[in-house]
Structure 1
């Protein structure tokens, strides 16, 4: 199982390099179900693994001129704020058992995972759908919509506790109007900031196995460079479609598992 776990680490980096997202979708289930790590610890490890791996990818893409720092910070700053407020004030007040009848019980954990799956489903459909021409929008309208989308994404990321690449990329493509390749690169920059800042909150609260974490992360970093290399052989349309289908597949899996227990 440990061999499968380390192979999964390579896959995490590969997905991040190719699509700019999906790392957190793979990392937590891999750590919990394959390597048997406690879910709370796995969440913290995921932040470090995805954040560090994304950092290497972001630096590599920045050197190549693919990272839009201005739009990256424009997205990250309000996103950080809303994620923090959501995690601190909204998530804690959600009751452990939200609905309970003689036939049905909806727990907080199931609710959040279903919301997570629905968000992924909508994000994937938005990436696969042909978009109308946005060139007639004014710059101010586009910026206003971009900021609104950023706040909404920050809230959703805070609610479900994901890295959010599957939410960030559609925003960068459709509201910041970045081509898919630059959206992927800029997403890595935003994910790195989100994840590593989040991880600092766990350092003092958990007993961290740094040796395991560094080995796992190193393999994941290797994977992201492989993904970045393979990325050169795909065009924007292929990346967009591939990312959309990947997120759709994961959304169907999560919703099926949580709603029907399969």
Structure 2
């Protein structure tokens, strides 16, 4: 029953990715841990594969619409991939406790939620006052986002998209499509940093990936009938609620 429930919820994760372009890992990690009983480090490693694969599928419609900038992706991705590997290697060290990692995950969720709500209320500014391309800043931020991804498993779209818009002068829709390529690539190296150091349930990860992929395709179709701004605001507050739940479980009650 837990597996069936997990697969159903994985479809919901995919739908959230298809609808609003984010939310995969922030839902997948708590689900794997608290519903299916996967150890925290393993859950974060598995979420990288799940979100990476689903993001790769999500690139397809953006590619067809011409909303993928390969030049910018090539600039952002190498340092992001390196950072993800470094973050994963740090997280897999015995000195990093699962509780510390999950508290860090909860903090990152709150930051992501706040940025999601703010960016949803105020359109990202891509005006001429950001005239100079900050080509050094893009790979530097890529490194930071990559380390965050490897350490806590969050894909980092909430940081990648503003960076591409503000620093790379990329239109928002193009930044969204390009960010999915970056997420997919750094998920590969992030998982490589965990591989062989934590337990991986490959069967469960495969079921989750397939279910989330189906959800993503469904979510992409549903965007025709929904208002993404309202969804993002609501999801942002939901993320804050999940973060509070994680802190209560890990820190106040110490149940894991």
Cα distance, 1:114 vs structure 2: 2.6
**Hey, what's the Cα distance between the residues in 1 that align with 2:165 and 2:251?**
31
Contact 1:180 1:236 in 2 (8 A): no
**Hey, what's the Cα distance between the residues in 2 that align with 1:31 and 1:71?**
33
Residue aligning to 1:137:
130
Secondary structure of 2:135's partner? helix
Paired positions, count: 249
Q: What is the root-mean-square deviation in Å for CA atoms of aligned residues? A: 3.3
Residue aligning to 1:15:
16
**Which shifted more, 39-48 or 206-215?**
206-215
Secondary structure of 1:143's partner? coil
Residue aligning to 1:187:
179
Work out which of the two has the higher radius of gyration on C-alpha atoms and give 1 or 2: 1
Match of 1:112 among 72, 97, 101: 101
Secondary structure of 1:73's partner? helix
Structure 2 unaligned segments of length 5 or more: list them.
none
TM-score, structure 2 normalization: 0.77
Cα distance, 1:261 vs structure 2: 3.2
User: 1:61-210, aligned counterparts within 5 Å?
Assistant: 61-88=62-89, 90-91=90-91, 95=95, 108-129=97-118, 130=122, 133=125, 135=127, 136-140=129-133, 142-200=134-192
**Hey, what's the Cα distance between the residues in 2 that align with 1:15 and 1:63?**
21
Cα distance, 1:181 vs structure 2: 3.6
User: 1:209-248, aligned counterparts within 5 Å?
Assistant: 211-234=203-226, 237-238=229-230, 241-242=233-234, 244-248=236-240
Cα distance, 1:257 vs structure 2: 3.8
**Hey, what's the Cα distance between the residues in 1 that align with 2:59 and 2:155?**
15
CA deviation map 1:197-226 (0-9, x unaligned): 444566667886655543332221110011
Flag the 1:19–1:178 CA change in 2: closer, same or farther, 3 A.
Answer: farther
Flag the 1:232–1:194 CA change in 2: closer, same or farther, 3 A.
Answer: farther
CA deviation map 1:85-110 (0-9, x unaligned): 3433x5467845xxxxxxxxxxx433
Flag the 1:212–1:75 CA change in 2: closer, same or farther, 3 A.
Answer: same
Flag the 1:241–1:179 CA change in 2: closer, same or farther, 3 A.
Answer: farther
**Hey, what's the Cα distance between the residues in 1 that align with 2:67 and 2:137?**
23
Cα distance, 1:180 vs structure 2: 4.3
